[in-house]
Amino acid sequence: YRCINRLDRDTTGALILAKNPYSAAVLSAQMKQRQIRRTYLAIVQGIAPEQGTIDAPIGRAADSTIERQVDFANGESAVTHYERLAVRNDHSLLEIHLETGRTHQIRVHMGYIGHPLPADYLYCPVYDHFKRQPLHSYQLNFRHPLTGKDLCFTAPTPHDMTRGF
């Protein structure tokens, strides 16, 4: 098996696994050509704007192999689209679509616009509502590597996110 998309630690939800080398090559090409649509649900601190696009490059933070940051001088292109679905308890539920797939992209971009994910051990270690970052890979849309049929898979939202919001 080959993992086609990855999820950050503590992120729940759907993944694409290829069962053979041919499927892995086709699905990897779809990912590289941005033909796989990834939809995430995230709960962020504060009242986020109704919708927006964050176009800010991401690179490694100085002296860290793990932490990332917005870096206009040396970062790689990163684009995140979001829409606010609901507001409750000074938190916003967002639907997020990634145009690119940088490490920690959602976590970094949401913090960059002033709406970090709570309980994010690296970027916002505030654990008063959640025990882990409330980030969920909700839906994946892509073409089957052999039949070309359009597929859509969803993963149920975990209880800790629904209870905490």
Q: Element (H or E) spanning 161, and its range? A: helix 159-164
pTM for this prediction: 0.93
pLDDT digit string, tens, across residues 23-82: 999 999 999 999 999 999 999 999 999 999 999 999 999 999 999 999 999 999 999 999
pLDDT digit string, tens, across residues 118-127: 999 999 999 9
Strand partners, 82: 52, 96
**Active-site residue among 8, 10, 71, 160?**
8
pLDDT at 88: 95
Strand partners, 143: 150
Give catalytic status of residue 71 as yes or no. Answer: no
pLDDT at 164: 80
How many Cα atoms occupy the beta-carbon half-sphere of 63 within 13 Å? 0
As a 3-state breakdown, the chain gives helix, strand, coil percent values, each rounded to 5, of: 15, 35, 45
More confident residue, 164 or 91: 91
Query: Length of the chain in residues, anyone?
Result: 165
**Helical H runs in 13-69?**
21-32
